[in-house]
């Protein structure tokens, strides 16, 4: 399919709230999802939200077996999640490093609910309902933030742990 241009922070389209998908059967939705995977894989990312390629719909993808960007992260199943909702479970928070293909070259330590339930639909319209923690919980929250016009820097509280990837993690970028 097509590798699409990824919008970068500063583009006003990244601040908009995405609309729910109304019809799961359209070729346009299938094309969008295929393009999102091509774009995410070409960029070496672990997740992508439709608004990052300028499409204001509630579609996110994520998942990987192993990642050069996040070498310590456990595998996350490859997932297409449409019209998602996220419910934090419990009060526990976890803080860990995040990057974003729309914020290239930077990483930040982001506090988020440690354990969440997420619900939504797959491209066939079948329900998805998972309870997750660890990096899986982090990546789904990060991607769904894109659907409400949030980028991870707006979630950072400790700005001493926000910086350029090659300064923070020189071993990551050889």
Phi/psi at 22 (nearest 5 deg)? -95, -30
User: 65, 74, 93, 143: which is the annotated catalytic residue?
Assistant: 143
The residue at minimum Cβ distance from Zn ion is: 100
Tokens of 2: 């097509």
CB nearer Zn ion, residue 11 or residue 24 = 11
- Is 81 or 100 the residue whose CB approaches Zn ion more closely? 100
Residues 125-164 that bind Zn ion (CB under 5 A): none
CB-hemisphere CA count at 13 Å for 1?
A: 18
Q: Give every CB contact of residue 25 below 8 A, 6+ residues apart in sequence.
A: none
Contact mark string toward Zn ion, 4..23, x via CB under 5 A:
--------------------
Active site residue 68: no
Environment class of 52 (CB within 10 Å of its CB; exposed 0-12, middle 13-18, buried 19+): buried
110 binds Zn ion (CB under 5 A): no
Beta carbons of 8 and 103 less than 8 angstroms apart: yes
The piece of 26-34, 67-75, 97-105, 127-135 that touches Zn ion (CB under 5 A) is 97-105
Q: Is 100 in the site for Zn ion (CB under 5 A)?
A: yes
Q: Which is nearer to Zn ion, 12 or 92 (CB)?
A: 12
The b-or-e profile of 61-96 (16+ CB within 10 A means b, else e) is bbbbeebebbeebeebeebbbbbbebeeeeeeeebb
Considering the complex, state which of residue 24 and residue 38 has its C-beta at the smaller distance from Zn ion: 38
Shortest reach from residue 130's CB to Zn ion, in Å: 20
Residues involved in catalysis: 143
Question: What residues line the site for Zn ion (CB under 5 A)?
Answer: 100
């Amino acid at each position: 399919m097509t590798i699409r241009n990824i919008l970068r922070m500063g583009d006003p389209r990244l601040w908009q709230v995405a609309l729910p998908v109304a019809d799961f059967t359209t070729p346009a939705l299938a094309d969008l999802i295929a393009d999102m995977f091509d774009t995410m894989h070409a960029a070496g990312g672990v997740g992508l939200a439709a608004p990052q390629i300028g499409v204001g719909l509630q579609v996110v993808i994520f998942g990987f077996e192993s990642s050069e960007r996040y070498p310590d992260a456990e595998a996350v199943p490859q997932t297409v999640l449409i019209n998602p909702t996220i419910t934090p479970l419990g009060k526990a928070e976890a803080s860990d490093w995040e990057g974003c293909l729309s914020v290239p070259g930077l990483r930040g330590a982001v506090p988020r609910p440690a354990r969440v339930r997420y619900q939504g639909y797959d491209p066939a319209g079948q329900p998805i309902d998972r309870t997750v923690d660890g990096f899986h919980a982090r990546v789904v929250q990060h991607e769904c933030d894109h659907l409400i016009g949030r980028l991870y820097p707006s979630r950072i509280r400790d700005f001493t742990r926000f910086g350029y990837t090659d300064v923070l993690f020189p071993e990551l970028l050889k």
